[in-house]
Amino acid sequence: KMGAMAELERVLAGAAEGTVLPLAWMLLARLCAEQGKHARAAELLEQVAVVVPEEKGVQEFLAAMRQKATTGAPVRSDPKLGKACA
């Protein structure tokens, strides 16, 4: 997983400014969440939320990561969000 995170970070760092890569952002956000990097996950999800603001799952995942990043408080488990937010 660490190799996948590094590769996704490399892809995002090499992308031209303004490039929209929601799948890469979402994948990396999930990996970051699993590694406890909640602030980075929230940062990535904010970019996804701009692209698909109507997607409830993205909004819920973003809210959970923001909560964990700012308070460190446990976030309720939601099977739709997967183990990354549990």
Condensed to tens digits (0 to 9), the pLDDT of residues 37-84 reads 999 999 999 999 999 999 999 999 999 999 999 987 555 544 444 433
Nearest to 59 by CA among 29, 21, 24: 29
Structure tokens at 9: 């970070």
Report the chain's C-alpha Rg in angstroms. 12
Q: What is the pTM of this model?
A: 0.77
Quick one: average pLDDT of 31-38?
94
What is the C-alpha to C-alpha distance for residues 9 and 80, in angstroms, rounded to an integer? 25
Contacts of 7 (CB under 8 A, 6+ apart): none
Structure tokens at 73: 């408080």
